[in-house]
Amino acid sequence: MKFNVLTIFPNFFDSFKNEALIARGIKKKLLKIETHNLRDWTADNHKTVDGRPYGGGAGMVMMVDPIFKAVKSIKKSKKSRIVLLSAKGKVFNQKKAQELSKYDQLTFICGRYEGVDERVARNIADEELSIGEYVLFGGEVATMVVMEAVSRLIPGVVAKEESIEKESFSNGSNREHPQYTRPDVYIMKGKKLMVPKVLLSGDHKKIVEWREKNSK
């Protein structure tokens, strides 16, 4: 899977690319992340990527031209998709992550300021996505959320694929059972906090029944 990220803050993604499972996926050549600075596709000395909104209003709007030129410069694969991260986009979920994981290449357009020229959504992007009903400074963090969710579904990125298959959102449910790990008894402020005995019993059938009963 190749990810292209169009942004005015490419350094945001340095740590993301170099830590944990994302870095492992890149090292194993299962993932590839390329950031593209939109200022590289501007025509003036100030590298302007935004302008005042027609009709008036607060803030600035990202211009269509740098985005169009940046997208045009990227070599497309047969199965590619362009995603604009936008507050007015469709809310991202696990089902959408699974859909996007079937592509070979995803290009993300990170909005900033008060938004992006509407011509980008209508003529360049294949779809608009939001990660929730709240406002961020820009699309960079949202892009990382989408990339991480998609990356986990690429075979080989997560060592135990069984753990992905059994996850609540992957099997069509949003229910999850309580999880515990060592120690089995933890004393907090003089009170013993204990792991349910059934989880220590080794009885697989009873453990499954307990987890189903206690899923929320």
Span 39-83, pLDDT tens digits: 999 989 999 999 999 898 889 999 999 999 999 999 888 899 999
Render pLDDT for 126-177 as a digit per residue (tens, 0 to 9).
999 999 999 999 999 999 999 999 999 999 999 876 456 555 555 555 678 9
Q: Which domains does the chain have, with CATH numbers?
A: 2-162 (3.40.1280.10), 175-213 (1.10.1270.20)
Residue 181: what pLDDT?
Answer: 92
Residue 62 has which token pair? 């990202």
What mean pLDDT, rounded, does the chain reach? 92
Report the alpha-carbon distance of residue 132 to residue 122 in Å, rounded.
21
**First-last CA distance in the chain:** 33
**Binding site feature residues:** 111, 131-136
Binding-site entries for S-adenosyl-L-methionine: 111, 131-136
Is this model's pTM higher than 0.75 or not? Answer: yes
User: What backbone torsions phi and psi does residue 142 show, to the nearest 5 degrees?
Assistant: -60, -40
The residues, any chain, with a CB within 8 Å of residue 9's CB and separated by 6 or more, are: 110, 138, 140
Q: Could you read off the pLDDT of 15-38 as tens digits, one per residue? A: 999 999 999 999 999 999 999 999
Coarse DSSP helix, strand, coil percentages of the chain, rounded to the nearest 5 percent: 35, 20, 45
Q: Which whole-number Å values give the CA distances from 86 to 65, 81, 138, 151, 205, in the listed order?
A: 18, 16, 8, 21, 46
Say what the pLDDT of residue 159 is: 84
What is the rounded distance in angstroms from the CA atom of residue 54 to the CA atom of residue 95? 37
Q: Mean pLDDT throughout 179-192? A: 93
- Is residue 174 a contact partner of residue 47, using CB atoms and an 8 Å limit? no
Q: What is the pLDDT of residue 214?
A: 94
Distance from the Cα of residue 154 to its chain's centroid:
13
pLDDT reported for residue 22: 97
Exposure string for 51-80, b = 16+ CB within 10 A, e = fewer? eeeeeeeeebbbbbbbbbebbeebeeeeeb
